[in-house]
Chains A and B, each alone.
Chain A
């Protein structure tokens, strides 16, 4: 019985230790399930096209939402000028939160830009090899999600002010 316990404990320790690298990496993105190497190049290129379109969609969404937020801010500004009335306590509190949101959005965008630039400049011209294409697909997929998240946060800017 004791022997079994010891073996079980050792196996448990070993499993936990082996899974440490996964934890350290924060479990890297496996959303696209891009581990299969049986895919044809044509299928991989198709995935790249989809993720590229997704990324461009995210980019457009960020720009659209930032523009709409800008319109809302300018409406408040115009109203403030027209009525010559100071902003209320609630409006100012809301603007503080909006500023934090905007600053955070800028930080995320800077990271997205840097990550994409770094990866694409690692190889001068992108190579039609599976590993590199998978890397690009994962990168585009991950960054598109971040862009959509940024766009979502911008929807709340200047809504309550």
Chain B
């Protein structure tokens, strides 16, 4: 009797699956039970409906966990963990309903907290007349951006990380994740959860992470090359003089010292 009862699910499955319509129905219940759900539910179900469209693998995992009777809190942790692993900063699912969350690596030079987090950048910023709790000089941003662009165009590619360092400090990389702080980013409309905009967001995050690696490399290069720091100071002064006179300065005339041989321009050891 017991074995007969245990055989029932298999018997039922065999007969259900013989009919295309029933088979399709079973497939939907198994793999996509939220197929008709809308985004007006609670945070958890809204998040699942959102992820269903753009990250089927994560959605599948959540459905499996639900079927396995795991708690909503456990599944929420899994969802946040998976999204963070991809670079999307999500602490709570409630934020998904606003749009695609993006990290913000931007610098606020008026925030004293920045200098506490990056004391090693103080000597570099001092060359531009920037220090904690002081008014940022009028031409500092333009000089930083101009020099960043100029360094990026140097034939020696090892200068590029220093260029990225300046472009990051003065919000001129062209990547919003690099150029905006969370406060500024919050003023922009967030990207929508469509496959196309998710691809754009992940591309931006990937690019920003690569650029931040260049920024670190640029910082290492500056610290290890006092001659470069000295030349940078001289070039800042030249640029500042021209800007104060209201003149345009041809950055092609700026001179940069030859870098020591063997320096890779990366954060890896040069040994």
The answer to whether A and B belong to the same complex is no
